[in-house]
Amino acid sequence: MAGNIEGAGARRGNRWRLAVWGGAAALLSLPFVAMQFTGEVQWTLSDFVVFGLLLLIVCSLFELAMRLLATRGARIVAAIAIVLGFLWVWAELAVGVFTDWGS
């Protein structure tokens, strides 16, 4: 009986894991697809590498937080912090809102 409960939690975790990593792959492919249809998007190989590394770090931090934190509230706070950190770094690299990283 306890094995069934444990198995259900593992399956739920696998769905989240698939959603996170699949979402990262989809985000990474969006600029490539957009480049096929418009000249407005012009990414170089280095852009894809940097964005891929950023997504790898974010997804790894998310997985680590989900494994280490026991309560739902702590996981939600960690996920929000990770997403906000990702958005801040992405904006800085893109246009340099507060720094000149992207300039």
Q: How many CB atoms lie within 10 A of CB 85?
A: 13
What is the value of pTM for the model shown?
0.76
| Model confidence band, residue 7 (pLDDT cutoffs 50, 70, 90) | low
How many angstroms separate the CA atoms of 23 and 47, rounded? Answer: 18
Report whether pLDDT(21) > 80. Answer: yes
Which tokens in the block code for residue 13?
């975790």
pLDDT at 98: 76
> Has residue 74 been placed in a domain?
yes
Range of the domain at 25: 2-95
Answer whether residue 26 is part of any domain. yes
In a domain, 102, yes or no: no
High-pLDDT (> 70) share of the chain, %: 84
Q: Is the pLDDT of residue 18 over 50?
A: yes
pLDDT, residue 68, reads 93
pLDDT of residue 6 exceeding 60, the answer is no
Instruction: Please check whether residue 100 lies inside any domain of the structure.
Output: no
How many folded domains does the chain comprise? 1
83 within 8 A of 62, measured Cβ to Cβ: no
Establish if 101 belongs to a structural domain. no
